[in-house]
Chain A
Amino acid sequence: MSQLTLDHASASVEFNKNEPRVDWHDETLWFVRTKRDRAVAQIPEWEQLREAASQIKNHVLSNMHDLLVQFEENAKQNGITVHWAADGAEHNAIIHGLIQKAGATRMVKSKSMLTEECHLNDYLTQHGIEVIDSDLGERIVQMRKEPPSHIVLPAIHLTKADVGETFHEHLGTEKGATDPQYLTEAARQHLRETFLTRKVALTGVNFAIAETGGFVVCTNEGNADMGAHLADVHIAAMGFEKIIPRAEHLGVYLRLLARSATGQPITTFSSHFHRPRPGQEMHIVIVDNGRSRQLGRPDFRNSLKCIRCAACMNTCPVYRRSGGHSYHSAVAGPIGSILAPNLDMKQNADLPFASTLCGSCSNVCPVKIDIHDQLYKWRQVLMQEGYGPTAKTVSMKAMATVLESPRLYRMAGKIGRGVLRFAPVTVENRFNPWYNQREMPEPPAESFRDWYVNHKKS
């Protein structure tokens, strides 16, 4: 994993150097987006479903405290041990403690973006615990020592040749093999052996039900189930916003989630865990890690409604052409760009600018998060707090000075028009990011002000 973190714009420039690959990435994600559209078209009440999903989540945000207390009480009665973690470090320490208590040194894990956010794998590896990710996409990127580049399709940035290469190296598949069926079979054998030999399994949580004290995990591969049902200890890690009031609300979310994600009517397995099986231990770690702070920001709290379907990424023209890694954050794309500055404003100040604000993300979001509006609002907060991108900060300061003085404004206009007409090279060069990929307009011969003054005279 490269430690050097480029900002989004520079990382995108890197990504864009391989043009055919960018086109391929763009098309692959657009293909997923069109599958979503087809699935949505089959549900006449889609818009009302989104509205219902959004309103249920509005209630959840406004009743978070009581719902969590209710969930905890019911989960405990079900025989689940509930832990609370204020941040990533506490989350990691709790999980490490549970693994040690089980006398294990190895763990199998199914997909959880929360553990990515908390850098659990790194932490456990440093403490001598071997972690194997069992979702095929996650396993591929894990072998390559890369983070996932997408929250639903972790290896979407890789071609089958890349995967073939990786499996040849790590699983001993034939060199040059690229058949997805063959490669998947190799992973199946390798992971089956893993499932059968791990005493501790970790899963994420898609939904936690306050009313019943249980939780739901959705996968297509069945890897969460294989891990959890064979292990002596099942640990589930959840961000506290995953709570919903009642089981019947799952009807709304399960209808929306997979259709928005991949265009499937539902994931293959939607597993409802309520009690450990006899002889098993079940733990839930409820994590804050900045979420309560985001809950207190009226402009951004809606981001906590996210059900992690990734539709906003698949549709985003910037994501599709810059790749998930350019966002240098566990959750990439439009929603990640709202969540990341809450975690670290300075480190992630570039991300809300990685958007055209075209609004496509907000249009597809199944829980109606005002994504592009929030990105716009983050830009203002970041500029005010002095975290704006340097180039923008300098030019914005200059612009403010010019706009404040009518005389300077007129002069700037004159100079600008002159420069564009007589020395276009000063604008059309690679140091002007706005000119990159764009045709500059023909400058008008006369400013609007001059035109107005002349016409008023006549």
Chain B
Amino acid sequence: MTTRERILNSIQANQPSLLPLPEQFTFTSSFPDLTKQFSDSLAFVGGMAVVVPDHKTIEAHLKEHYPGMTSVASTCPELAHLADRGLDVADPHELASLNLTIIEGPLAVAENAAIWVDERQLPHRVVPMITQYLAIIIRQSTIVPNMHDAYKKLKVNETGFGTFISGPSKTADIEQSLVIGAHGARSLIVYVLP
């Protein structure tokens, strides 16, 4: 008998008799203003949301916030001219020198400021973690109230990898003091377009 069979047999012999899956496991959250809830949640986890009317305003904000930044990449066509490098490298290790990356997020969650991105937004999976600074552009209309709503809209296996990102990389492993910028991005700015 293989280990697999042994484990599965033992599980079958030991598991209790079948209990049904609960039907009620999703809940509705009501927030008077989804964008405000999203922005507040993001501030709470160390990120910053900026509500902007158009891409021009994003550009101005980025230039002001990261003056003279080089090694910038963008997957957003409207901001392609801000980029001085591409992301279409063969080996993701070549992305180690990325400073600022601008990507788009197709779905955001108000309750926890999580933004879903998958391989359709990411030329390489490691992009949002390996870059020093990260900017994500979302649309107001794509903000859903909570995680249940998000999973109703998502097909998690549509691409090989997808992740919810909520804020910049952080740690509190040294005496519970919050430090932003552990391994991943040292900051996260989310631009919310109408």
By a CB distance below 8 angstroms, the chain B residues around A271 are 161-164
CB contacts (< 8 Å) of A163 on chain B: these are: 174-175
Q: Are A68 and B157 in contact (CB under 8 A)?
A: no
Q: Does A276 contact B (CB under 8 A)?
A: yes
**Chain A: how many interface residues by the 8 Å CB criterion?**
94
Query: Which of A84, A223, A268 contacts B4, CB < 8 Å?
Result: A84
Residues of A with C-beta under 8 A to B185: 222
The CA-CA distance from A267 to B113 in the complex, in Å, is: 10
Interchain CB contact under 8 A, A65 and B24: no
Taking each of B130, B148, B160, B172, which has the highest tally of chain A beta carbons within 10 Å of its own beta carbon?
B160
Whether B15 pairs with A250 at a CB distance below 8 angstroms is no
B20 touches A59 (CB 8 A): yes
Given contacts A268-B168, A292-B7, contact A248 B152 (CB under 8 A): yes
Asked if A49 is at the interface of the complex by the 8 Å CB criterion, the answer is yes
B161-194, CB under 8 A of A: which get 1 and which 0?
Answer: 1111111111111111101011111000000000
- The answer to whether B26 and A223 touch across the interface, beta carbons within 8 angstroms, is no
A173-212 with Cβ < 8 A to chain B: 180-181, 183-185, 187-188, 191-192, 195-196, 209, 212
Given contacts A65-B12, A226-B183, A272-B162, contact A59 B173 (CB under 8 A): no
The yes or no answer to B21 lying at the interface (CB within 8 A) is: yes
In the assembled complex, A9 has its CB within 8 A of some CB on chain B: no
In the complex, which of the residues B15, B22, B111, B175 contacts A28, with contact meaning CB atoms closer than 8 Å? B175
Q: Is the CB of A64 within 8 A of B126?
A: no
* A158 partner residues in chain B, CB cutoff 8 A: 175
Docked-complex contact A251 and B156, CB < 8 angstroms: no
Size range of the interface on B?
A: 35 or more
A153 and chain B: residue at smallest CB distance: B173
| CB-defined contacts of A247 to chain B, threshold 8 Å | 151, 154, 156-157
- B62 close to chain A: CB less than 8 A: no
Contact of B151 among A86, A187, A248 (CB under 8 A): A248
A307 at the interface (CB under 8 A from B): no
Contact between B171 and A220, CB atoms less than 8 A apart: yes
- Which residues of A in the span 311-328 have a Cβ within 8 Å of any Cβ on B? none
Chain B CB within 8 A of A31 CB: yes
Q: Bound state CA distance, A264 and B168, in angstroms?
A: 13
Residue pair A251, B26 in contact (C-beta under 8 Å):
yes
Residues A230 and B26 in contact in the complex (CB < 8 Å), given A68-B8, A155-B174: no
B45 at the interface (CB under 8 A from A): yes
A268:B26 contact, CB within 8 angstroms? no
| A428 close to chain B: CB less than 8 A | no
- Chain B residue numbers with a CB within 8 Å of A59 are 18-22
Q: Does A414 contact B (CB under 8 A)?
A: no
Q: State whether A274 and B7 are in contact (beta carbons under 8 Å apart), knowing that A220-B169, A248-B26, A248-B148 are contacts in the complex.
A: no
The interface residues of chain A lying within 8 Å CB-to-CB of B163 are: 225, 269-272
Residues of B136-170 whose CB lies within 8 A of A: 146-148, 150-152, 154, 156-157, 159-170
Taking the complex as formed, is A21 at the interface, i.e. its CB lies under 8 A from any CB of chain B?
no
Complex Cα spacing A247 to B112, Å: 18
Residues of B within 8 A of A192 (CB): 96, 183
Most buried by A among B8, B125, B171, B183: B183
Q: Which of B1-17 contact A (CB under 8 A)?
A: 2-4, 6-8, 10-17
CB pair A288–B147 under 8 Å, yes or no, is: no
Question: In the complex the two chains form, is A225's CB within 8 Å of B175's CB?
Answer: no
* Cα(A28)–Cα(B174), bound, Å: 11
Q: A135-B173, A222-B183, A247-B156 are in contact. Are A274 and B161 (CB under 8 A)?
A: yes
Q: Is there an interface contact between B16 and A62, defined as CB atoms closer than 8 Å?
A: yes
**B20 contacts A292, C-beta separation under 8 Å:** no
A55→B22 contact, CB < 8 A: yes
Please measure, in the bound complex, the distance between the C-alpha atom of A272 and the C-alpha atom of B21, giving whole angstroms: 23
Residue B129 at the chain A interface, CB threshold 8 Å: yes
- Chain A's nearest CB lies how many Å from the CB of B141? 21
A15 within 8 A of B: no
Q: Is B65 an interface residue (CB 8 A)?
A: no
A65–B8 CB distance below 8 A: yes
Residues of chain A within 8 A of B14, CB atoms compared: 292-293, 295-296
| Nearest-CB residue, chain B, relative to A289 | B7
In the complex, 6 of the A-B residue pairs with CB atoms within 8 angstroms, ordered by the A residue number, are A68-B11, A225-B184, A265-B41, A265-B166, A266-B113, A271-B162
A residues neighboring B (CB under 8 Å):
28, 31-32, 45, 48-49, 51-52, 55-56, 58-59, 61-65, 68-69, 78, 84-86, 90, 134-137, 140, 153-156, 158-160, 163, 180-181, 183-185, 187-188, 191-192, 195-196, 209, 212-214, 220-223, 225-226, 228-230, 240, 245, 247-252, 254-255, 262, 264-277, 286, 288, 292-293, 295-296, 298, 301
Give the A-binding residues of B (Cβ under 8 A): 2-4, 6-8, 10-22, 24-27, 41, 44-45, 92-93, 96, 111-114, 118, 124-126, 129-130, 146-148, 150-152, 154, 156-157, 159-177, 179, 181-185
19 other contacts beyond A229-B129, A251-B150, A270-B114, with CB at 8 A cut-off? Answer: A31-B176, A45-B27, A59-B18, A62-B18, A65-B15, A90-B3, A160-B174, A160-B177, A188-B183, A220-B169, A225-B125, A226-B129, A229-B124, A245-B21, A251-B147, A254-B147, A269-B164, A276-B160, A288-B10
